[in-house]
Structure 1
Amino acid sequence: MTSGARSGVVWAVVTVHRPSQVPPLLAQLAPQVTGIVVVDDGSGPEFDAIRADIASTGARVIALESNSGIGAALNHGIRCALDAGASAVVTFDQDSTISSGFVAALVAAHDHARENGVPAGPVVPEFFADVSQAGPSTAHGVVSAAHAIQSGMYLPAEVIERVGLMDESLFIDLVDTDFELRCLDAVLPCIVAPGLRLPHRLGARYRIPGPLGALLPTLTLSTPFRYYYRARNRIVVGRRHPRHRARLRRDARADYAYFLIAWMLARPRSTMRKLLVAGFRDGRAERLGRMSPELAADSARVAWRARPVADTHSA
């Protein structure tokens, strides 16, 4: 594994959970970075064979004993990479795929900003799953990020030293938003690498029956337990970052509309309502970490009143 990055030694951190195979991403990353850390977030001993296959690629493998959430998994990997001498890390989910030159494009965007006196924190691809992450252009053609998703995010060590690691207490959902806003407050705004794309599956696609299907023929839905964390963390992140109230209110309105649609399509609806209400309640009470086993069991009983679209996978 090599790195041509001018900014130093770049490592990749890839999080996995119950992987069905060695992620193809690892072979794509190998010629682009100095080293790879794969963090298995509590898949259990039945995945020992796949973890061994991952280790045989040359990646360092960290197996967490229990599912600790994306924040904790990323932090374990980031610490490992920094301890190994990384001057920057790039974080990924297991189902991401990248093109050749992907990491170099992130590094180039960062170096271009710094060389022109523009403060730059994390760097993300302009497009994530065909959704633009770009905001307005700043001086010297540097493009700021309107929002940033952690998969495909380039993180210089100096940013981590100033801002800190991901907030593990959020567990999952909006962990990257919280980190991005902390970077903004530290005057290390997130920027994008213009034109760079990261293909990714955002949940599973479903075809909706009935009148709603006339308006939304297909819709992306996450696994039901994610709606608890999204509702809870939307409250928490909104309270933490009052300087960004306008943006967070816009984002919250979009989420609340999405929650309503998910509730309409859930069976039983009463259980989805219970998950959302518990999320809002725990967010207001600042009860963070992993959801209770009782709620997790409830979420596992929720099904969608919709037909899966072929050749998609849940996220």
Structure 2
Amino acid sequence: MTHQSEPRVVAVVSAFHPPQDLPERVKQLNQQVIHTVVVDDGSDFQQTSGVLRELEDLGCTVVRMPDNVGIAAALNAGIETALKSWSPDFVVTLDQDSALDDGYIAAALETFAAARTSGVNVGLVSAQSHNGLNVPLLTRGARFPEAFDPLQSGAVIPVSTLNTVGMLDERLFIDFVDSEYNLRVRSHGLATLVGRGCNMTHALGQAQPLMLFGWHVSFLGRKRHVHSHAPWRVYYMARNQIHLWRQYGARFPVWLLRRLRFQIVSDLFRIMYGANRKGQYRAFVRGCLDGWFGRLGKIDPDFQQRISR
């Protein structure tokens, strides 16, 4: 992306205890953007200094947060650095375990330009597929389809959207940060499009077989698995889901009901059959209560320690 007339795109990558192969992914990413900002979210410096030095050697800007502030605050810090130092037209936000296929950014910009020409107010452009599988759509049959709940990872966001909608909500810390932003974007009459031909490779997390009395449970002919999350993650998911209902329930009830259907199934299976079920249950209940009463921010450290035992 060297032609003067092409839009300037800067990548912002959030990292926490970044893996050893992150520099290789960033090296490939640098071929699609004018610059990459990597934000280390309070990792142990001794363990990560080698990876961060490699990233700096690649020409990246590395921002080191003094403490673990959460993905929203980390990405916001990276976006602010990008805006001040590189004056981009777009930023693309990424998790450390995501990789964009070759041509992803160009395809996203083509979708953006075509939609704008057709009179669509575009808020962001996200992946059409993850690991080769198409993402769920908001509605079918649209000329420019919108993703139902696009991840922040792989989202190509015009700076104009940031100016209109604002930055990510740091109070959520982690989980549903992208969902909240998507609803906020739509609240401003902007579309969350999928980029035609944009595929992102993304880690799916750990999954364990769903077992019942020693049998691997099958449903509709498929063996089922439970995605494992630490109780503190369950807390954030439960709390922030409730927060979304309080903030956007009146405006987007159908969307939230559809999103809740996915979440309830995962929560029930995890609490009934996952690891540390007692901690999962306590985290879920406390998260729902805190979400209802508007207690946001980072989880209470003492409570996190108790549910992790």
TM-score by length of 1: 0.89
State whether structure 2 residue 279 is matched by structure 1 residue 258: no
Corresponding residue number in structure 2 for 1:204: 206
Greater Cα offset, 83-92 or 2-11: 2-11
Corresponding residue number in structure 1 for 2:9: 10
Q: 1:175 pairs with 167, 171, 177, which one?
A: 177
Partner AA of 2:7 in structure 1: G
Cα shift readout 1:198-230 (whole Å, capped 9, x = no counterpart): 121122121233356222443322333211100
Cα shift readout 1:154-210 (whole Å, capped 9, x = no counterpart): 000000000000000000111111111111111111101123211211221212333
State whether structure 2 residue 97 is matched by structure 1 residue 79: no
State whether structure 2 residue 230 is matched by structure 1 residue 223: yes
Contact 1:7 1:87 in 2 (8 A): no
Q: Matched residues in 1 for 2:123 and 2:6: separation?
A: 13
State whether structure 2 residue 78 is matched by structure 1 residue 70: no
Pair 1:221–1:160, CA change in 2 (3 A): same
Q: Matched residues in 2 for 1:286 and 1:21: separation?
A: 38
What displacement does 1:132 show? 1.2
Corresponding residue number in structure 2 for 1:310: none
Q: CA RMSD, aligned part only?
A: 1.9
Q: Matched residues in 2 for 1:65 and 1:183: separation?
A: 30
State whether structure 2 residue 39 is matched by structure 1 residue 31: no
Identity of aligned residues (%): 32
Q: 1:1-315, aligned counterparts within 5 Å?
A: 2-3=1-2, 8-23=7-22, 24-46=24-46, 47-84=48-85, 85-129=87-131, 130-136=133-139, 141-211=143-213, 213-215=216-218, 216-241=223-248, 242-301=250-309
Contact 1:75 1:165 in 2 (8 A): yes
Partner AA of 1:15 in structure 2: S
Q: Which runs of 5+ in 2 are unaligned?
A: none
What displacement does 1:142 show? 1.5
Pair 1:288–1:116, CA change in 2 (3 A): same
Give aligned pairs, total.
299
Q: Matched residues in 2 for 1:150 and 1:251: separation?
A: 16
Pair 1:183–1:51, CA change in 2 (3 A): same
Pair 1:273–1:114, CA change in 2 (3 A): same
What displacement does 1:112 show? 0.8
Greater Cα offset, 20-29 or 278-287: 20-29
| Aligned partner of residue 63 in structure 2, secondary structure | strand
Pair 1:300–1:55, CA change in 2 (3 A): farther
Contact 1:28 1:99 in 2 (8 A): no
What displacement does 1:137 show? 5.7
What displacement does 1:74 show? 0.8
Partner AA of 2:200 in structure 1: L
Q: Matched residues in 1 for 2:92 and 2:209: separation?
A: 35
Q: Matched residues in 1 for 2:262 and 2:190: separation?
A: 26
Partner AA of 1:169 in structure 2: R
Contact 1:4 1:32 in 2 (8 A): no
Q: Matched residues in 1 for 2:114 and 2:168: separation?
A: 26
Contact 2:124 2:156 in 1 (8 A): yes
Q: Which runs of 5+ in 1 are unaligned?
A: 302-315
Pair 1:178–1:217, CA change in 2 (3 A): closer
Contact 1:13 1:74 in 2 (8 A): yes
What displacement does 1:146 show? 1.7
Contact 1:138 1:144 in 2 (8 A): no
Contact 2:227 2:270 in 1 (8 A): no
Q: Matched residues in 1 for 2:141 and 2:34: separation?
A: 31
Contact 1:124 1:192 in 2 (8 A): yes
Greater Cα offset, 162-171 or 206-215: 206-215
